[in-house]
Structure 1
């Protein structure tokens, strides 16, 4: 008897080469094949020439009015004949398909699918179609190794074997609640729709099922994480409260809420896996400092991992200063790859002995020789820059600290429900009091002189400025030459100010010295090639000038803008660009319209698509076939709620009605162990 999880190789015509091609598309079983839905349909319904637009793909059905003629031009050929459609006579041309002539004759009724040329009343034939064929022709994702036509044939074979035997995946009450098709009806209409409305109904049901099954896996993973062995961080509430009360500023309501969520997690006897989102300048670092201090009061150590040495150094300086001003005797150390051997050995020994309370570093913290005495909390800054294996490294070797991942890249709800769905999410959605919104203006290149005059005015008032030069190509040498030219131009235009030049060919020490001079106001204008380091904090810098801004993505532009607006001055961002595409213009208009990073992130998602926002592989985004997490966000949210409700039902996995769902999850969970 044929079963859903039988291998595809049981189908006739599937040999080793074809099997390899199917495996490359993640098709292993008959179930995989039946769930490999078409990404679109070609409308093969017959139309009239009078209702067809020029260049439109269309099916014409009529009587062959002139016998087919084949003309050859070396290896190429043209087959043409007349087709009478009611009172219209259309010339049909097939190029390099001479065999078409053998399948048609004068006075025969045929249906032809092709591209219509209204001016010439001709049809460039693509294929002959059956006059009795369904109006919608499914088109499947394919590859060079296997065609969509072959995939469709295999689906037909699999459906012939399993028709009517598919178990339900979505619980009966959920299907009834949202008027979803049953599994067998849905699969049949996805592959063989009788008409447009049926295909639409099947696609809606398939999209919900795809979201629901994904969320079921995600919520099960989240449950497993929650039950994962972890120890409570028994922090001293009095000391933590005194530290918060003694801060030189009051926490915003959003910061207070997030601190409460994190401390609550730390106190529980289970592993914390929390993502802290906060727009640039929202105050994530002080929240992390409170969580790290709480761990230290419990007798644990804390670690903060940053993506770059400059940012790691800045964190070490700022945290040490924060704890020192609070009168706390904490030892904060910096571990980077640039340390001398003897200094590194000493830090590692002290870390293992427990003499270091908080260690700050880069990937250097992930080396096998970095051993902790008792690590209670690992904070990972700019979370998406670390791979799964790197983050998992902190949990290995018997060390299983709470994980607090931070990102200044606002993540729209779509990505929160997919890429980060198994993590608890805390959001700081308020800026500290007194921060003035950054004013953003878009100028054309011909208005550069206006931007320069504005910069001169700001510098005269004591402000500092960043000038970010455009990316020319994937060539560091060209970028440096370009930055050098702009540096020379500004040096001439601004003779009374110090102009610095920061680019990728400088040594690590040269970069650090430049940034230190800029922070000390010994440099008033900093020209930089690509992106000024995330997290770099120069409060007196209040102007960001970005040249050829249309070469940067929305997320990059927003991050760059976040380098200013950190002090008491009114800050400005000027975008210089002549975008050549509608997409480029939309990005710049969006930057002018809002400072809200979350709104921009959602806009970026709509403009670019989910796979490119963080990078599919890097973000762990699932490859949905039917569902669209951007357009179908409401459906995605509902699917998450229903998955949570299903798992909350006592004995859900022993209900007869959920047998198909349980069987599916037991077969597939092994494939989806990691979502972070």
Structure 2
């Protein structure tokens, strides 16, 4: 005989369906009066609430249905942070026992035969792993659909009891299993499985199943090609039906029902003490950890699921920011303390042939505030190509020198180091600042002379490459280190330069979306120069198909005849210097045929630093017209007379990289152009490249690139430092990231090593979430 709970469930579903369908009295054959007559006898209050349903107005029907559903739905209190919440779910045998530590190995938890091995194959080894193995999506199974609701071709989840089954083998090697289910409305659904013999033993008549798959309508009947199936022993006490249900990542042989039961066990056995204080939770509008973990796995309603997602997403970013802030250094370092006088900044600007933009001035004052603090400055200055980052850095270096300190600027390549050296000489030499250069290409004698000048304090500012961090280099009193394109240096390389704890200014001409900057560079304060100097002419960008290459190079030749120069960039086809060289060499040979009047030379990654410098110097001196290059000219190289760039096979580049390449032209006053040649003609490719054609804002482009390619690929690598996020989305979580970062900085400002007893749980959770040994050693 059916239990009261089963009868409640059987009656509640058609009432919910009627409510969803707009109270048209069509959810049940014969109408609601017939349903009440057949099924509602054990529930006289429900029959009374729906009495005379046929004659009620639509609004009255809504009220009557809601009253009836309230009578059929027992109240379920919200879960407490530590206690298991009251719910319809009966405690499974594995739930019996006292509380366990989150670090308890699953092999020590009574989850059933072979459970620990199954879970281990999914990378789950402790109760903490289970708690944080969140569902990848949720399905609302509080009212599974009737056949009337199912649309052809849609993915559906339906429940029913097997009333018949059979197997077919239409041809050798093909097995089709079919089962007919009867749902709570008495409707029948045919379900099919292709070449899944292992399913057959679970297809027994009378078994209740929940199946998910693509639906196909044949008139009034529906057939489902099953993608996922689970059996339900007791629908009234099930974790898999009659509720919002989580769907987990799994593999063949590991059922969703099993994963839900083990998650329920973990929640029931682990004291869900919160590592965030009630004050912090109130400040950031977060629910407690117990409510969040129960809510992500077994939400009572949409509101609890929403609370859970908000809290657990915040936690992901909080622990990420704590990791970045702690990694490799103390959270708070004492640095140099500068006076950074306003009059010195004004004197520097007065010596320039231009005025600072509002954005440059704002960022400079942010830097000066940091320099005046006794804490070590660690600031990232982002700015699009040509936004004036170097002038701002030069002013900061000038402030350091005015207080008797030395400064250093480290660039990733010798070409860029020479360029920075020339720029700083122009800015600072008229103000009496002594600027030197130290690069690997120097002769041993000259290098030794520069090193001696650095040690004696005879040079105020030194510009260089990795040569600045060699053992023989000793600064007398390094106060400010400027690192250009920081992501191109290794961690140990940076630390050598920063060993004396100078203030640190990192510059990047690679626009990075704010969300990514706050995570990948979470240990740095962020400044953005988001304004270009007046008078700069925007670069015109044109996307063409490779079938129109001749016209593109005809335009290049026109520019050359007007006295201009051009870049032509070839894409790296594979991770191979040899293939890259061959591609660039072949392109240069082709262009010599196509542009017989032009003088053409080649730049590629197989050249030595001295050879690259020589090619670029000759290009600057206009000794040839067209530079065919691989992406080694991507960042920082400055040739004012180059006004056109052609990028071959543009589809092989990310949007941010295309924007960086484009920034090599437009360095002078003449109108400049970028031609994107697409070798692939698909609509998807064209749509993506149209973004770069239509915008010159590097930050807009970087945001689009982030959405298209993800954080790990934004700079063409998998080394962004951002772990895979389970819940977070860097394309839309800026506000959450900023809030989490604010709390992380607050925590570490008051307790840099998390040694306070009140932070013990936060500390242990932070250690447990990190898989990096070096990081664990920090705390």
TM-score, normalization by structure 1: 0.85
- Of 552, 566, 572, the match for 1:451: 552
Report deviation, 1:90: 4.6
Report the counterpart of residue 346 of structure 1 in structure 2: 449
Which secondary structure state, in structure 2, belongs to the residue aligned with residue 405 of structure 1? strand
Q: Which has the higher contact order (CA 8 A, sep 6+)?
A: 1
Report the counterpart of residue 145 of structure 2 in structure 1: 47
* Structure 1 contact 304–379 (Cα < 8 Å) conserved: yes
Which secondary structure state, in structure 2, belongs to the residue aligned with residue 264 of structure 1? helix
**The 10-residue stretch of structure 1 (601-610 or 271-280) with the greater mean CA deviation from structure 2:** 601-610
Which secondary structure state, in structure 2, belongs to the residue aligned with residue 451 of structure 1? helix
- Of 420, 427, 433, the match for 2:528: 427
Alignment of 1:272-421 (within 5 A): 272-324=377-429, 326=430, 328=432, 330-336=434-440, 338-396=441-499, 399-421=500-522
- 1:160 is aligned to 2:294: no
**The 10-residue stretch of structure 1 (614-623 or 582-591) with the greater mean CA deviation from structure 2:** 614-623
- Measured against aligned partners, the alpha-carbon deviations of 1:326-385 in whole angstroms (never above 9, x if no partner) come to 15251412232x333343333333322323322222223233333222111111000222
Q: Distance in 2 between matches of 1:674 and 1:588?
A: 45
Report the counterpart of residue 511 of structure 1 in structure 2: 612
**The 10-residue stretch of structure 1 (78-87 or 564-573) with the greater mean CA deviation from structure 2:** 78-87
- Of 351, 360, 378, the match for 1:246: 351
Report deviation, 1:570: 0.9
* Structure 1 contact 64–81 (Cα < 8 Å) conserved: yes
Shift of the 20–571 alpha-carbon distance from structure 1 to 2, 3 Å rule, reads farther
**The 10-residue stretch of structure 1 (271-280 or 99-108) with the greater mean CA deviation from structure 2:** 99-108
- Measured against aligned partners, the alpha-carbon deviations of 1:448-506 in whole angstroms (never above 9, x if no partner) come to 23322322222222221111123333333333333233323322333222112222233
- 1:263 is aligned to 2:368: yes
The number of aligned residues is 661
Alignment of 1:83-102 (within 5 A): 83-84=181-182, 90-95=189-194, 97-98=196-197, 100-102=199-201
**The 10-residue stretch of structure 1 (8-17 or 532-541) with the greater mean CA deviation from structure 2:** 8-17
Q: Distance in 1 between matches of 2:447 and 2:115?
A: 54
- Of 292, 301, 306, the match for 1:186: 292
Report the counterpart of residue 539 of structure 2 in structure 1: 438
Q: Distance in 1 between matches of 2:212 and 2:114?
A: 34
Report the counterpart of residue 127 of structure 1 in structure 2: 229
* Structure 2 contact 433–461 (Cα < 8 Å) conserved: no
Report the counterpart of residue 480 of structure 1 in structure 2: 581
- Of 109, 133, 150, the match for 1:11: 109
Q: Distance in 2 between matches of 1:615 and 1:307?
A: 17
* Structure 1 contact 463–524 (Cα < 8 Å) conserved: yes
- Of 640, 665, 676, the match for 2:762: 665
Which secondary structure state, in structure 2, belongs to the residue aligned with residue 417 of structure 1? helix
Shift of the 40–380 alpha-carbon distance from structure 1 to 2, 3 Å rule, reads same
Report deviation, 1:538: 0.5
Shift of the 67–574 alpha-carbon distance from structure 1 to 2, 3 Å rule, reads closer
Q: Distance in 2 between matches of 1:360 and 1:320?
A: 10
- Measured against aligned partners, the alpha-carbon deviations of 1:197-248 in whole angstroms (never above 9, x if no partner) come to 64344323332343455557778899964x4122223567766543331122
- What stretches of structure 1 of length at least 5 have no aligned partner? none
Shift of the 61–341 alpha-carbon distance from structure 1 to 2, 3 Å rule, reads same
- Measured against aligned partners, the alpha-carbon deviations of 1:9-68 in whole angstroms (never above 9, x if no partner) come to 54347999969996995x776445423322223566743455445554433334434344
**The 10-residue stretch of structure 1 (32-41 or 2-11) with the greater mean CA deviation from structure 2:** 2-11
Report deviation, 1:550: 1.4
- Of 727, 731, 737, the match for 1:626: 727
- 1:460 is aligned to 2:561: yes
Which secondary structure state, in structure 1, belongs to the residue aligned with residue 596 of structure 2? coil
- 1:205 is aligned to 2:311: yes
Report deviation, 1:535: 0.5
Report the counterpart of residue 112 of structure 1 in structure 2: 211
Q: Distance in 2 between matches of 1:544 and 1:510?
A: 22
Report the counterpart of residue 81 of structure 1 in structure 2: 179
- Of 586, 610, 629, the match for 1:528: 629
Report the counterpart of residue 162 of structure 2 in structure 1: 64
Q: Distance in 2 between matches of 1:400 and 1:17?
A: 52
Q: Distance in 1 between matches of 2:258 and 2:531?
A: 54
**The 10-residue stretch of structure 1 (30-39 or 509-518) with the greater mean CA deviation from structure 2:** 30-39
Report deviation, 1:603: 1.6
RMSD of aligned Cα (Å): 4.0
Report the counterpart of residue 37 of structure 1 in structure 2: 134
Shift of the 217–71 alpha-carbon distance from structure 1 to 2, 3 Å rule, reads same
Q: Distance in 2 between matches of 1:581 and 1:11?
A: 54
Which secondary structure state, in structure 2, belongs to the residue aligned with residue 511 of structure 1? helix
